[in-house]
Amino acid sequence: MRLLVTGGAGYVGSVVTALLLGAGHEVTVLDDLSTGHRDAVPEGARLVVADLADAADVLDPSVDAVLHFAGKSLVGESVDSPEPYWRTNAGGSLALLEALRRHGVRRMVFSSSAATYGDPASPEPIAETDPAVPTNPYGASKLAVDHMLESWARAYGLGAVSLRYFNVAGAHLGLGERHAPETHLVPNLLRVAAGEKESADVYGTDYPTRDGTAVRDYLHVADLADAHLRALERVVPGTHRVINLGTGGGHTVREVLDAVRRVTGLPVPAVDGPRRPGDPAVLVAANARARRELGWAPTRTLDETVADAWEFARGLPRT
């Protein structure tokens, strides 16, 4: 297929692009490089440096489908400065959808987020049927796009799948996390292991969990990317589906810290601190729908995820 990947110079978008190329697809990447990296775009993909608002100039009727990753993704920043999140995540996605409709492109896979669920009332794994009540502008903007896709499917026959990520980590095919600032736990712990920080911060030790620290569902980026290729094959025109992507289990912050210590063989000092406002105790994905509808299942353990991220952080060759 001929595919357009928005945000293909970013972490997840670049890994998905690499897998799409490996599967024989022709890929154009649309990215403004505001947070992505030119050298992360895999060889063989065509890069167009442009804003989402310019998508109509990049699309043409020969494009078979769009995989949409472009957007802003820092929860705290979205609270302090919501306008860019609505303008980019919601407004940019609206411009993209209008371009799809204009050119008759009928298939999309969207990078949504577990932030759409907000603070769940129960520690049980979150299912797609659970209430979506986001607690910050980032999650609200992602949910707005999910609603757009639903209405475009009904009114214009668009086929779309919204993949709601929980926590993504690891590296694949030489591609890993290079965020600035970095807010994710695994790369921040690895910065301590690499000597770039003196210690790691543990936010909250009094949660109602097995060791008092927050529980999150960590999925390897290669498993996540594989789900996108499966979703692309299963898009149905006129239908919008929401599918969670996660392992179905979770690890506490201390368990992730222990995994980093095992993998690196280093002490990795950590300092306990208070909870961050708005952090839920437990966020774990129910993944039965992904297994059933995509024929997908995660395959990599937490230690494998950390090991791949550590190799990337040290700049070693990856396979």
Cite the active site residues. 138
- Residue among 260, 261, 251 at smallest CA distance from 209: 251
Inter-residue contact 309 to 316 (CB < 8 Å)? no
Length of the chain equals 319
Q: Strands, DSSP E only, in the chain? A: 2-6, 26-31, 46-49, 65-68, 107-113, 159-165, 167-169, 200-203, 215-216, 218-220, 240-245, 251-252, 270-273, 282-283
Counting beta carbons within 10 angstroms of the beta carbon of residue 57, is it exposed (0 to 12), middle (13 to 18) or buried (19 or more)? exposed
Report the b/e string of 104-122 with b at 16+ CB within 10 A: ebbbbbbbbbbbbbbebee
- Residue among 148, 77, 71, 78 at smallest CA distance from 108: 148
Between CA 120 and CA 69, with CA 35 as vertex, the angle to 5 degrees is: 55
